[in-house]
Amino acid sequence: MKYKLFALSNSEAYAKGIASALNVTLGNLLTRTYSDGEINVEFEESIRGETIVIAAQIQLPYHNLFELFVAIDAARRASAKEIICVIPYLTHSRQERKDDTRSAISSRLIADFIEHAGASRVITFDMHSTAIMGFYKIPIDHLSMNRIYTEHIKYNFKSESLCLCSPDFGGLKRIKAYKSLLNCDMAVIHKERLSPNQINSMEIIGDVKNKDVVIVDDMIDTGGTLTKACELLKSNGAKSVTAYCTHGVLSGNAINNISASAIDKLYISDTIPQSKLSKNIEVISSIKLTAKAIEFIIAGKSLMELND
């Protein structure tokens, strides 16, 4: 075998999906916890001179992120040749710039930790901003749910009645990429925030009357952006409102709020593991694409054809 696949403790389901798509077995990576919560990670087989792939879903709590740092360090000290980290969702990606006078750029800090621990390469999905790639000196293979989602949209909506919508100006580039594949109308919402997770005002630019509106976003966290956008779109005559978000952070009361909202359907991917969702939330898998990317990287093949 040209590489060995491992998983952090909470990424086993994702890694098993990759293993089955690639027809490989999952290696044994053991994580133990001291009684005070300190993590101890051990590779239970030799990885000397090997390329290893670690599936690492590092959404909060911070335990997941720290387990990744420790696993990379263990791999480096066990003389792995190359350490490929599959980090489908890069936490802290919304803090990629210094917006306030004395705040941190914590997305950069995470990049430094991953790199200093010894990672050779990161595979990730739909970054909040592609500028984050510049925080790393190691290669970042940036995958996108665009193609999977646009195929799904094509199958479910007629282009005459379809209107793509970005819930903020930051997502305009993403919407334009979808528009070029779907050939339909588009709208954008001007959103102003009071503080993180708190929206002040929203205004639609574009005509959504009698349209099946499809909102596309990189992530859904509290659901505040989506539920507010949905109310605004429906009050402006939208026939239906569906959303496609890559990362289902779904913190706090998000699931109940989405369930109680007028959103017809929310599609998220499995970059973050989910347990119980409401009826109007469905998961579309990213695993086959991740597996293909691993296969291409190991074979030294370009990833262009996976993303265009």
- Residues at the site binding ligand R5P, with contacts judged by CB under 6 A: 94, 167-168, 170, 197, 217-226
Question: Strands 240-248, 265-269: parallel, antiparallel or unpaired by DSSP?
Answer: parallel
State the nearest-atom distance from the C-beta of 23 to ligand R5P, in Å: 36
Nearer to ligand R5P, 133 or 138 (CB): 133
Minimum distance from CB of 130 to ligand R5P (Å)? 13
3-state secondary structure of 56: coil
Closer of 168 and 264 to ligand R5P (Cβ): 168
Q: Known catalytic residues? A: 191
Q: Which is nearer to ligand R5P, 67 or 126 (CB)?
A: 126
Least Å distance between CB 58 and ligand R5P? Answer: 17
DSSP state of 253: T
Q: What residue ranges in the chain does DSSP mark as E strands? A: 3-7, 29-33, 39-43, 51-55, 82-86, 121-125, 140-143, 162-166, 185-195, 198-205, 212-220, 240-248, 265-269, 281-284
Sort residue 178 into left (φ over 0), alpha (ψ -120 to 50) or beta. Answer: alpha
**Which lies closer to ligand R5P via its Cβ, residue 27 or residue 167?**
167
Residue 101's Cα: distance from chain center in Å? Answer: 28
Least distance from ligand R5P to the Cβ atom of residue 192, Å: 12
Tell me the torsion sign for CA atoms 7, 13, 14, 17.
positive
